[in-house]
Every structure is written in structure tokens, then in C-alpha cells.
Amino acid sequence: MMSGRRARPAEIDASRLGDLLRRTVRPTDTGEPWLRPADIAERVSERRGRPCPVEEVAAALRPGNVPATDIVRAALELRAELKREESGSAAVRRAQADDEEFIARALRTDAPAQRRRRRASALANTTKKKTAWAVGIMVAAGLTLLATGVIPAVLRQFINGAAIEDAIRGGPAITVTEGIYTDGPVPAYTVIPPHQPISASLLRAIARPAGVGDPALARFLLGKGVAGYSLQIRIIAQGNRNESVRIIGIEPVDLHRSPPLHGVLFATPSQGIDANAVMGFDLDQVDPPAQSLNEVGTPQKTLYFLNHTISLAAGEQVVTIVEAYTRDYDVTFNLGISYIVGQSSPRTMIIDNGGRPFHV
């Protein structure tokens, strides 16, 4: 039997994308020139392979509109290119200004005209050499930054297509469906509390041959009973992001322990070894971590998430079965799932058993 709900953690506000575009195209506090919408439209047209109207760029710049990702990417690229060009031309202009000042001072001397011409010629040659030297230094530095990956790394910080598309998409980064897992028609051990009477018709159904497979019995045990000794939970997680999504931890939360239940124990033990679960929680511990289980389901001393993570690509589903067990208490709990999207900080979502806590 499966029951589930969708978790809704907070996500990035897509309106920030419009603010990024407007700050890139029309900076107001740096003194940089504005970008022309026509230049942005031309760059987008080259990427799309079809014309991009200037009106579309102008509409994307209006407050309240969410721009297309290729328009934002084109604006960021043009701004980066403009900054590189301005940096190079400024260095050349400074070198030329210094040399022109030297030439002017030389021409103002009282030396003979021939000497002034020779000095001016020499200074002009020096100007050319200094200009060529400055340009050469800048080109070499640019090639070095490209070769070492510094410029691509910086550009990737500003032009992260996956992050931009995820911001526009919105919604939860992970969708989780959870429910009680059994390897047969009914749980292996179920406790029927005293306040849950067993009807005469259900007793007759149990007494019949193969009565354990009666659907009415399964509905009664799963709806009214409490799992005895242990409980297996199937978690189906789906990634909803272009950036990598990794589950880095699962742990019981909202734990509530009571004395063991009294009542009728209904036992239908499996005839084989149940080795479906990959991690387990000893609910008798104060703060139970996720422990690794071996091939026959025995808890190990190693913590599961020290050596494992669960990675989710966009649209990918991963099924994980966990087991919670106790011998000393009657326990209710929920599960907290910790995950990371891309390089962001860890987040946690809480899952339960269809609106109520898990119970064992």
C-alpha cells in the first residue's frame, strides 16, 4: 500500500532574473555605458538561428516581466566583452598620453630644428614600442587566463544556464512519494490494539484456508494495526532540477516514544530472507542515525551516508527502502530528508505516512 504527498520547500523567486537583466543592460551606479537592445537582439538571433525582434528585448527589460534565458545570457556575454575591451583600450591610451607628453616637452626646447626632429622621431619610435609592448602584455595575459581556465570560470559564475532555467521553473527541487512497504499481502507482524475490536466476519475469514490473503484482512491490518518490531518504508524520490541534486541524509524526526502496546499480535512471518532495505534506524537509541544493513538485513556499525549519497538527475526517480525497528517502545516518527542542489547549502524536507506519523 502506498500513500504520499508532495513536499514544497521554498525556491528561488524568478523575478530576480529580470532584475539581473536590467542591471546588466542599464547599470546606474558604475558609470558604464548602456547596452543597445539591437546588439542583444543580434546576439540572440545568432544563437537561435532565427531573427529575434528588438521589441522582444525591450519587453524583457520592463519591470514585472520574466525574460527568456537566452536574452539574459546574451546581455551578460556582451557586458563581459565590453569590460575586456575597455580594460585593454585604457592601458593603451595611458601609454600614448605619457609619450605624447614627452614629445611635447621635447618640442618646446630651444634645440636646433634638426635636433628636435631627431628627438621627435626617436620619441615616436619609443611610443610605438611602448604601445606594442603594452598590447603584447595584455594579449599574453588574456591568453594565459584563457589557458588556465580563469576567464571561463569567472564567466560560469555569471552565466549559469542550469541555475537560470531552474529559477524560472520553480517548484520543489525533489518530489517524494512515501508509503509502508510489505513483501506480502499483509505485514509480517502487526499489533491490534485493544480499542480496535476484530469483527466476527473477519475472524471467520481468517479461519478459512488461505484466509491470510483476504483483502479485507489486509485493509484491516494496514488501517487499524500497528507494525510490530519493525517497519519498512519505501521512498520514491524524483529530481526536478537541471543542476545536480544529491540526498546526503535521512533521519527520524519528531520522535515520540511510549510504553509497548498490548493487544493481539497477528504474525505471518516471511518464508525467506527480507533483504530489501539498505539502511535502518534503531528507534531505541536517543538520536538514531541511518545505519548500513548487510545482505540479510542485519544492522552494521557503519553509518550509511558516510559512504553513500543518492544522486538525482532531472526527471530521474530513485527508490530507497529504509527500515525502522524497536523492541522497547511504541514509537511514532516522521522522516527528514537532507539534500543539496548544485553548490547551495543543505536543505531539509519532512515526509510522513500520508498526513500522519509512521508508527511501529
pLDDT value of residue 256? 93
Q: What is the mean pLDDT of each run of 10 residues along the chain (360 residues)?
A: 43 66 80 85 90 90 85 87 70 60 55 61 66 65 57 51 56 81 70 77 70 70 78 89 89 92 71 64 92 84 87 88 91 94 88 89
Query: Can you list the pairs that 106-111 forms with residues at least 24 positions away whose Cβ atoms lie under 8 Å?
Result: none
In DSSP terms, 238 is beta-bridged to 175, 317
pLDDT value of residue 163? 57
Q: Which amino acid is at 192?
A: I
pLDDT value of residue 169? 54
Cell 488461505 -> residue: 210
pLDDT value of residue 142? 59
Helices marked H in 149-229 — which ranges?
A: 150-158, 161-169, 200-207, 215-224
pLDDT value of residue 10? 37
pLDDT value of residue 105? 59
pLDDT value of residue 128? 66
Residue among 221, 357, 333 at smallest CA distance from 281: 333
Query: How many other CB atoms are there within 10 angstroms of residue 87's CB atom?
Result: 11
pLDDT value of residue 11? 39
pLDDT value of residue 243? 84
Cβ partners under 8 Å of residue 270, min gap 6: 183, 184, 188
pLDDT value of residue 217? 72
In DSSP terms, 303 is beta-bridged to 291
Distances (CA, A) of 340 to 106, 167, 201, 300, 311: 67, 15, 51, 26, 10
Query: What's the pTM?
Result: 0.51
Whether residue 290 contacts residue 278, with contact meaning beta carbons closer than 8 Å, is answered with no
pLDDT value of residue 289? 92
The x, y and z cell numbers of residue 254, run together, are 519528531
Q: Dihedral (C-alpha) 76, 149, 157, 41: value to the nearest 10 degrees?
A: 20
Cell 491490534 -> residue: 192
Cell 527502502 -> residue: 321
* Spatial separation of the C-alpha atoms in residues 14 and 11, rounded to whole Å: 9
Query: How many other CB atoms are there within 10 angstroms of residue 173's CB atom?
Result: 22
Q: Which amino acid is at 317?
A: Q
The x, y and z cell numbers of residue 201, run together, are 466476519
Write the DSSP symbol of residue 182: -
Query: How many other CB atoms are there within 10 angstroms of residue 337's CB atom?
Result: 23
